[in-house]
Structure 1
Amino acid sequence: MAKGDNQTENVTPLNLQTRMSYRINSFEEYKEAYKKSVEDPEAFWSDIAENFQWRQKWDKVLEWDFEKPDVKWFLNGKLNITENCLDRHLKTRGNKLALIWEPNDPKEKFVRLTYKELHEEVCKFANVLKRNGAKKGDRICIYMPMIPELAIAVLACARIGAVHSVVFAGFSAQAIAGRVNDASCSMVITSDGLNRGAKQIPVKRVVDEAMEQCKTVEKIIVVERLGWAVNMVEGRDVWYHDELKQVSEKNCQAEEMDAEDMLFILYTSGSTGKPKGVVHSCGGYMVYADYTFRNVFQYDESDVYWCTADIGWITGHSYIIYGPLLAGATTMMFEGVPTYPDNGRFWQICDKHGVNQFYTAPTAIRALMAGDVDDVLSYSLDSLKTLGSVGEPINEEAWQWYHLHVGKEKCPIVDTWWQTETGGIMISPLAGITELKPAHATYPLPGVQPVLVDAEGNEIEGNDVEGHLCIKFPWPGMIRTTYGDHERCRQTYFSTYKGKYFTGDGAKRDKDGMYRIIGRVDDVINVSGHRFGTAEIESAINEHPKVVESAVVGYPHEIKGQGIYAYVITAEEVKDAETVRGEIIEKVVQMIGKIAKPEKIQFVSGLPKTRSGKIMRRILRKVAEGDTSNLGDTTTLLDPDVVDEIKAGAL
């Protein structure tokens, strides 16, 4: 056989027993696994990692220093994650469904790809990427709708060792440009347009606008989704379908990667106006995504699993693409929205495809709760075995509705807590294995060592306590750096409490040792499960020519979890408030996207500031929440009178 004829040449499975060999099957097994993971984390994760195909085994399991921070897992291990997602399944699961795609319009035909077919599509597109100049280490921006080509593009990048940076196809041109420029992307993969509910959106036009600010992009590959005529720049822009015709090879040798090589960058809002590129690496992320998927959802070989997230967010990376495919699962992706063409769309899809595990956001659940309960009761939902919640803590009312009407009181709800930076689920029930408590994320997964600390960083022992949630020991899926700015990573996550990763969340540990997440303690707002730094939104508002300064806080919103409340100081008195509000919203949409637009904008003459100039957001939050009975001592403020004015004008 000529070298290169077989893509798995030199790939040595260290342990061929990959079928559920490390799935926890009882509460006793959970306790045993957790105990081992804390007493000897390196031996624990080494055993898990043995279940994958490595080109070369690691020399050392872990090196870490949270001060720098510097964390490395599976040092000098060599692999390619797509060989573990695809190639290793071909012999036993080649004809099993890997991916089911359900379109926005229920009348349009769905798509099903077996592992063999998905492998072939990924290899062909990987060859297209190489034909267009992409190589190992290049950063590639993907700005696409939820269509099969999005998953294929992600895997094709990983196959050739290019670093994918997926940007949610709802962000503005300016937001795309900022991310492309930060990562110096050489290529963008996009589409002509997208379907979202009753709307059709011109995706390529947004990319073209972004490219006016981008100098590093040499190629744009465009997928045809709507059949629209779009502007194609000669020499730069090519059609996906045309390029596929130019590559006859249905195989593509997977690039050998080091365990600590970058797999992807995913941008998340920061405490400054500039989004930060969270970096995940190949080996640790692979091991963690697979392990958490199998155990949290208790996936069985013949199950159909559906996560309703968008691949533009971390949930889509870890629990639509990588986690399920690593486990040899059948994973679904959906192009549309839960309320189109009616409020029964989610449940119609569950019945249509026999979905067994269903993973969605509290925002979606609350939106559907607001409709007629018959929209759910019209469907049998008999196939469902496990329900999941992600993106923000689920409130008890939504939990009970989900449990009763969707789960028919027989499906465990895994209320998962985790972050873009953690790479995978950290605290969650294991479906049918560990105990449940409404609105509680419950227990940490094996390998995760959470602690609660007080404001000074002292660890709070025992149960029935509350504090700031930190993690005191590394886990394989964790953030490695923020792209191009390691100091920002240190400052954001590792400087607040010495020797610990600070999550930015407050939490309670109840009398049974179960964790309940109680929300952000830093300047981050969680809107429909998407986190935005207040500074990023303020920066956009301040771009308006009439705005002098602004302060943004979150407030409780019955559907979105949190809404955005903006306090705005203008250069002169606002005579037409509604017009200026509209212009400010337009500016935020232009700079970030519709998902970040403020619900409420209050014009004020000043902000409550200390004498050192710090904005007292605690006061602004209480006003936004309608709780002005106890604002605390305001006499230390630079101008205490401004608080009365803000209270009087509250929306």
Structure 2
Amino acid sequence: MQMSKWVPDEDSMKSLRLVQWMKELNLPDYDSFYQKSIQEPEWFWSAVEKELGFVWKKPYEEVLNLDNGIAHPHWYVGGECNLVDTALAKWAETDRMAILWEGEQGEVREYTYAELHAWVSQVASGLQKAGIQKGDRITLFMPMIPEATVSILAAAKIGAIISPIFSGYAEEALKTRVIAAGAKMIITADSFLRRGKQVDMLQTVRNALPELGGVETIVVVGGSDLEAPFMDWSRLEEAGSFEDSVRMKSDDPFMLIYTSGTTGKPKGTVHTHAGFPIKAAIDARVAMDLVEGDRLLWVTDMGWMMGPFQLFASLMNGAAMVMYDGVPDYPESDRLWKLVHKWRVTQLGISPTLIRSLMAKGEGWLDGHNLSSLKVFASTGEPWNSASWLWLFQQAGKSQIPIINYSGGTEISGGILGNVLVKPITPAAFNTPLPGMEVVVLDENGQQVVNKVGELCLTKPWVGMTNGFWNEPERYIKTYWSTYDGYWVHGDWVETDGESWEIKGRSDDTLNIAGKRVGPTEYESILVKHEDVVEAAAIGIPDSIKGEACLCFAVLKGHVKASKLLEDELLEMIGHGLGKALKPKGIYFLSDLPKTRNQKIMRRVIKSAYLQQEPGDLSSLVNPEVVREIALCNEEDIAGNHRSEGDLMRGNQ
């Protein structure tokens, strides 16, 4: 493990809310606090909701009940609440800012908590009058605009369930998630701008609509000349005001976030009124020192987990959510630093991919921007490399601003590993599991290991743990609880020396494209729809900017010849189905894909062969000869530079 680059000082630690809270709990240091949090989870999660001032309509009778086993915990048993009471109504009498929004073209909108509360109440009433009832699902397909935040809060206020999805998805990805959620309504926007170019969201919805039989209403921000089932957003604001939030049980769902896995359709993680908001808020409070009056900007999308995280981390803590709807290096490469300076941001959330792209543009773009408002940088989504971490710390942060490395997932409602500001921070690493998260690293035999790469596992439930998968209870158990008895297996390779932790990548086949997790089957299912493709496989390969890029392999029908024209056609299909941001780097055509005797495609073998790494045991393959064919695809450059027509045609010549 590396030497520390940032070390806390005694004076600055005194002002941290974490230090003050530990003192109030009569705990002498962080290690004592962390150990008590994992040894006494009932004590800890009771202390957490009190620290956040969570508002209960009816107090809970029991913090944690495990009668249904560790995979199905019940939190705050008997309690009744509505997250809106804590995230919004609690602060509504103040003049504190809740949302500070800026668009790519420089437009600005600002809302106090009082204004946001009134707006949410109006839209909640409008949703009810539009036919939305408690338990109904609403798909949110929106750019990063204030209406997206209002939609989430308004749906929760009336007991509906929101399902936010990535604004850049194309129609195939949209359809899959709308159908899986059983959505009754879609809330979208007419369009948005990226690098000055218009992205037509409404047309994407129109293209998907013939296959969305359960959708009754489509609400459009900025629409015009709309006919049923489309309606303009303004109609939601004309139906009066819904004042008192609906009473919900602690573990009633309010949000479904679909996250990709290695097989099958995306998984609908179920998040509850007393789950996601509490976990997100306490992580930000403990790790990032996010407190009342702070300003949190995260470069994200409401369809990725960090969008709702930013929302609830901010509002549950009485902070302002600084929203930016645009590209962080447009119209010039210093746009992100201008935002920090202009809005006096105190916590800035980024990804390693973003920093690598800004790093490539040079240090001059940092000149003239005052970043002194920042308490921390925060990073999530993918592993760092040392060069980009050090550039952010030394060049942007002048070796003064700590980087909170933060890793967990959609299923977690926040982080598993992180950095806290009472311990030294080393490049690209984590200095602790987050409080309440008991972490172990296990080898293939289920034995705990130190100084060796193994599976990241959790031994106890936590507030915010997904309440299963929507309508797929067996898949939930198989995904997280079937590898080792009694352990949540998260799917990350991790190494620790007991003090510092490093993530080495995914242990399953899930791709991580610039922090966006995408299942290989999402690519493969689109490819095999083409009449010339028999079967396909998708893998992730190293990429200097995104961290990981997708590469696809396809087997064609016997009479079909591989060509650059066919590759371009297939790439266009994927871009149309998943969105341009998720297009693969390229497609190779093979005579066959490596398979076991039961016809399972071995993506692990494809990846190792392509990267010219040791492929491991091939004894289970029925066609080991194809491994050499894959290796020949990339003899010259494992980064995937320009390929000739002949390179495309391995196995088809």
Task: Tell me the TM-score normalised to structure 1 length.
Answer: 0.91
SS at match of 1:481: coil
1:233 aligned partner? 227
SS at match of 2:453: strand
- Cα offset, 1:139, TM superposition: 0.5
Query: Match of 1:359, as an amino acid?
Result: G
- Cα offset, 1:55, TM superposition: 0.6
Which runs of 5 or more residues in structure 1 are unaligned?
1-18
2:97 aligned partner? 97
Match of 1:506 among 489, 493, 502: 493
CA contact (8 A) 1:279 1:479 kept: yes
Measured against aligned partners, the alpha-carbon deviations of 1:399-455 in whole angstroms (never above 9, x if no partner) come to 10010121111001001011000001221112x322211111221111100111111
Alignment of 1:436-515 (within 5 A): 436-460=425-449, 463-510=450-497, 512-515=498-501
Query: Match of 1:241, as an amino acid?
Result: S
CA contact (8 A) 1:41 1:447 kept: yes
CA contact (8 A) 1:68 1:490 kept: no
Report the Cα distance in structure 2 between the residues aligned to 1:332 and 1:238, rounded to whole angstroms. Answer: 28
Q: Does 1:538 align with 2:524?
A: yes
Match of 1:169 among 154, 167, 170: 167
SS at match of 1:46: helix
Inter-CA distance 248–615: structure 2 relative to 1 (3 Å threshold): closer
1:644 aligned partner? 628
SS at match of 2:387: helix
Report the Cα distance in structure 2 between the residues aligned to 1:138 and 1:612, rounded to whole angstroms. Answer: 41
Inter-CA distance 449–88: structure 2 relative to 1 (3 Å threshold): same
CA contact (8 A) 1:279 1:481 kept: yes
CA contact (8 A) 2:65 2:73 kept: yes
Q: Quick check: 410-419 or 288-297, which moved more?
A: 288-297
- Cα offset, 1:641, TM superposition: 2.3
CA contact (8 A) 1:451 1:470 kept: yes
SS at match of 1:221: strand
Which runs of 5 or more residues in structure 2 are unaligned?
1-15, 635-639, 641-653
1:333 aligned partner? 323
Report the Cα distance in structure 2 between the residues aligned to 1:143 and 1:639, rounded to whole angstroms. Answer: 43
Report the Cα distance in structure 2 between the residues aligned to 1:537 and 1:23, rounded to whole angstroms. Answer: 49
Q: Does 1:631 align with 2:615?
A: yes
1:40 aligned partner? 40
CA contact (8 A) 2:433 2:439 kept: yes
1:10 aligned partner? none
Inter-CA distance 167–361: structure 2 relative to 1 (3 Å threshold): same
- Cα offset, 1:341, TM superposition: 0.4
Inter-CA distance 131–374: structure 2 relative to 1 (3 Å threshold): same
2:409 aligned partner? 419
Report the Cα distance in structure 1 between the residues aligned to 2:56 and 2:195, rounded to whole angstroms. Answer: 42
RMSD over aligned Cα atoms: 2.0
Query: Match of 2:587, as an amino acid?
Result: I
- Cα offset, 1:636, TM superposition: 5.4
- Cα offset, 1:275, TM superposition: 1.1
2:155 aligned partner? 157
Alignment of 1:190-209 (within 5 A): 190-209=188-207
Task: Tell me the TM-score normalised to structure 2 length.
Answer: 0.90
Q: Quick check: 361-370 or 44-53, which moved more?
A: 44-53
1:371 aligned partner? 361
SS at match of 1:62: strand
Report the Cα distance in structure 1 between the residues aligned to 2:447 and 2:18, rounded to whole angstroms. Answer: 39
- Cα offset, 1:536, TM superposition: 2.1
- Cα offset, 1:592, TM superposition: 2.2
Report the Cα distance in structure 2 between the residues aligned to 1:139 and 1:39, rounded to whole angstroms. Answer: 37
Alignment of 1:46-445 (within 5 A): 46-50=46-50, 51-64=53-66, 69-91=71-93, 94-106=94-106, 108=107, 110-224=108-222, 229=224, 232-234=226-228, 236-244=229-237, 246-249=238-241, 251-318=242-309, 320-430=310-420, 432-445=421-434
- Cα offset, 1:273, TM superposition: 3.1
CA contact (8 A) 1:100 1:331 kept: yes
Measured against aligned partners, the alpha-carbon deviations of 1:203-246 in whole angstroms (never above 9, x if no partner) come to 1111122221111111111111xxx646x233x221112442x3
SS at match of 2:362: coil
Report the Cα distance in structure 1 between the residues aligned to 2:617 and 2:272, rounded to whole angstroms. Answer: 47
SS at match of 1:371: coil
Q: Does 1:584 align with 2:570?
A: yes
Report the Cα distance in structure 1 between the residues aligned to 2:131 and 2:19, rounded to whole angstroms. Answer: 40
Inter-CA distance 102–23: structure 2 relative to 1 (3 Å threshold): farther
SS at match of 1:54: coil
SS at match of 1:340: coil
SS at match of 1:154: helix
Report the Cα distance in structure 2 between the residues aligned to 1:313 and 1:633, rounded to whole angstroms. Answer: 36
Report the Cα distance in structure 1 between the residues aligned to 2:431 and 2:413, rounded to whole angstroms. Answer: 19
SS at match of 1:418: strand
Inter-CA distance 285–646: structure 2 relative to 1 (3 Å threshold): closer
CA contact (8 A) 2:259 2:266 kept: yes
- Cα offset, 1:634, TM superposition: 4.3
Report the Cα distance in structure 2 between the residues aligned to 1:503 and 1:633, rounded to whole angstroms. Answer: 24
Inter-CA distance 24–68: structure 2 relative to 1 (3 Å threshold): closer
Measured against aligned partners, the alpha-carbon deviations of 1:128-177 in whole angstroms (never above 9, x if no partner) come to 11111111111011111111111111111111110000111111122222
Report the Cα distance in structure 1 between the residues aligned to 2:459 and 2:67, rounded to whole angstroms. Answer: 11
Report the Cα distance in structure 2 between the residues aligned to 1:280 and 1:563, rounded to whole angstroms. Answer: 29
Q: Does 1:616 align with 2:594?
A: no
- Cα offset, 1:591, TM superposition: 2.6
Query: Match of 2:417, as an amino acid?
Result: I
Report the Cα distance in structure 2 between the residues aligned to 1:501 and 1:103, rounded to whole angstroms. Answer: 40
Report the Cα distance in structure 1 between the residues aligned to 2:121 and 2:173, rounded to whole angstroms. Answer: 30
Report the Cα distance in structure 1 between the residues aligned to 2:592 and 2:258, rounded to whole angstroms. Answer: 32
Query: Match of 1:306, as an amino acid?
Result: L
SS at match of 1:53: coil
CA contact (8 A) 2:71 2:477 kept: yes
Match of 1:601 among 570, 573, 587: 587
Identity %: 34
Report the Cα distance in structure 2 between the residues aligned to 1:481 and 1:155, rounded to whole angstroms. Answer: 22
SS at match of 1:101: strand
1:12 aligned partner? none
Measured against aligned partners, the alpha-carbon deviations of 1:300-352 in whole angstroms (never above 9, x if no partner) come to 4332221111111111111x211110000011110001121011110011111
Report the Cα distance in structure 1 between the residues aligned to 2:628 and 2:203, rounded to whole angstroms. Answer: 47
SS at match of 2:595: coil
Q: Quick check: 493-502 or 35-44, which moved more?
A: 35-44
Inter-CA distance 23–128: structure 2 relative to 1 (3 Å threshold): farther
Inter-CA distance 130–624: structure 2 relative to 1 (3 Å threshold): same
SS at match of 2:328: coil
Report the Cα distance in structure 2 between the residues aligned to 1:85 and 1:229, rounded to whole angstroms. Answer: 33
- Cα offset, 1:22, TM superposition: 8.8
CA contact (8 A) 2:451 2:495 kept: yes
Inter-CA distance 105–464: structure 2 relative to 1 (3 Å threshold): same
Q: Quick check: 140-149 or 178-187, which moved more?
A: 178-187
Measured against aligned partners, the alpha-carbon deviations of 1:538-569 in whole angstroms (never above 9, x if no partner) come to 11111111111111111100111101111111
Inter-CA distance 491–65: structure 2 relative to 1 (3 Å threshold): farther
